[in-house]
Amino acid sequence: MASNDPKAPAASVAAKVKKEEKISQVRGIKNAFLVILACAVCGVCIYMFLMGAPSNFEGEDPANGHPLNLAGTVYKGGFIVPILMTLLLTVITLSIERWIALSSASGKGNTSKFVAAIKADLASNNIDGAMKRCKDQKGSVASVVYNTLVKYKEMDANTSLSKEQKLTTLRNEVEEATALEMPSLSQNLPILATLTTLGTLVGLLGTVMGMIKSFQALANSGSPDSTELSTGISEALVNTAFGIATGAFAVISYNFFTNKIDNLSYAIDEIGFSIVATFAATH
């Protein structure tokens, strides 16, 4: 049976709009496995065709020739090199992805100035102005504030709930909107955190394998094979360098983006508290 209530369509539209508004404003790569797979393909291709090019070795023999340049030296690092190269490319790719994602999450303007402007609007009870400012700012902080201000106006017009119930509803709205944004902000960061250790460990594995080859060369009867000895040392040093570079870059990237997320979280908490405090003081 069709409803005769003229407000029903409007309520339905409002509910739809509200549902659309409560979508995370952070955009990023959802499937990191595809990134790792693509980086692995690139790493193997660089290792095989760029660093393993015959022109990088004496006699154009990658298997037995002495490396003539740095690319050839890296190639002598062995099969661990493309693995480390995959890890390093993954760190670089995900760092760029998080930079783009968190830049969009920060919005168009300075977050600190936005927070101060919203607090000024709240102090003057200019809720509509604050909502307009959120639409102009965009980003995660503005999204959380806008959704909370929508609930603020709803509670302002509500006459059936007590003041404490309204304040609880506002607090819940802040928490709900924040919980929607936070997973998207920290997306792919666990992978960077893992690579901080994994890169170093894989580099250490390559180092140990290179040293084993070196000692095998020294253990041969008669004079040691200088070629085998240099190949083993080269493998050890190359893998050490790649492992350290991967781990260091991953640590810097992870800490940088974690700090950026913390700043956004502090801004959300600050404005959320101000909205609830303003409602409590004016009602």
Q: Report, as an integer, the average pLDDT of 72-95.
A: 92
pLDDT of residue 41: 97
Cross-strand pairs, 57: 67
Distance CA 70, CA 66 (A): 11
Instruction: Give 18's pLDDT tier (boundaries 50, 70, 90).
Output: very low
pLDDT of residue 222: 56
Q: Report, as an integer, the average pLDDT of 50-62.
A: 90
Distance CA 194, CA 33 (A): 14
Using the structure block, give the residue that is written with the tokens 């023999």. 61
Element (H, E) at 54: none
DSSP-assigned letter for residue 187: T
Q: Report, as an integer, the average pLDDT of 200-211.
A: 89
Q: List Cα–Cα distances, 283 to 55, 63, 170, in angstroms.
A: 79, 80, 13
Instruction: Give 35's pLDDT tier (boundaries 50, 70, 90).
Output: very high
Using the structure block, give the residue that is written with the tokens 């509200």. 18
Using the structure block, give the residue that is written with the tokens 């992805």. 97
Whether pTM > 0.85 for this model: the answer is no
